[in-house]
Chain A
Amino acid sequence: SAVISQKPSRDICQRGTSLTIQCQVDSQVTMMFWYRQQPGQSLTLIATANQGSEATYESGFVIDKFPISRPNLTFSTLTVSNMSPEDSSIYLCSGSAGRGTQETQYFGPGTRLLVL
């Protein structure tokens, strides 16, 4: 399995501020993704982090609110901008390893964000 780390593990932020979450993966990982999981809900894909180019965002998520960088194969950041209490959630970084039907996705430990 792939090794994925995230930081910070949790944070409490004030409304209107921004938080950048970092994700580090091991060299097995080819694709990186960012998910949000709101309390009691399942995983919602925010975007696919593309190395050296703009991330690919899912419907309902925009770059101005969730800018993402992936400067190299093993590192990505997600920024939650101009935060509101509705952004309180768990943010998960994931990475996929393997190819074809063997491609498997692994998750980091998550960042628990509370916006006051």
Chain B
Amino acid sequence: QKEVEQNSGPLSVPEGAIASLNCTYSDRGSQSFFWYRQYSGKSPELIMSIYSNGDKEDGRFTAQLNKASQYVSLLIRDSQPSDSATYLCAPTRGLDNFNKFYFGSGTKLNVKP
């Protein structure tokens, strides 16, 4: 079983719709959860993070965390073609003096004009 599971996609949504990206993780000790966006040929860039159960909103993005279900999701409202990218989920676990990030394989999102 992979430590971090994401549907590889592609997830296709029309422009203006809500895109819902899901991620499950196996390590109950995971403390923080990050979402990165990676455009083709580029390096990952941070979208947002969440630490507590519930929802966290940042502009058009909402992260949702349910630690009991070991589930984290990212909602993108009013999706734009520029949102077309691969989205990586990354739970973290604290080690001796830093947090180790565990990256999922990513979900490819296509937003159709």
Contacts and interface: CB of A to CB of B under 8 A. Distances in A.
Interface stretch (B13-21, B77-85, B96-104): B96-104
Contact of B88 (A31, A42, A104): A42
Interface string A23-41: 0000000110000000001
Interface residues of B, number: 23
B44 A107 contact: yes
Contacts of A103: 32, 92, 98-99
Given A96-B98, A96-B99, A105 B34 contact: yes
Contacts, number: 45
Interface of B: 31-32, 34, 42-46, 49, 51, 88, 90, 92, 94, 97-101, 103-106
Interface of A: 1, 30-31, 41-43, 45, 48, 90, 92, 96, 100-101, 103-110
27 contacts: A30-B98, A42-B88, A42-B104, A42-B106, A43-B44, A43-B88, A43-B103, A92-B43, A92-B44, A96-B98, A96-B99, A100-B94, A101-B31, A101-B32, A103-B32, A103-B98, A103-B99, A104-B46, A105-B34, A105-B101, A106-B46, A107-B43, A107-B45, A108-B43, A109-B42, A109-B43, A110-B42
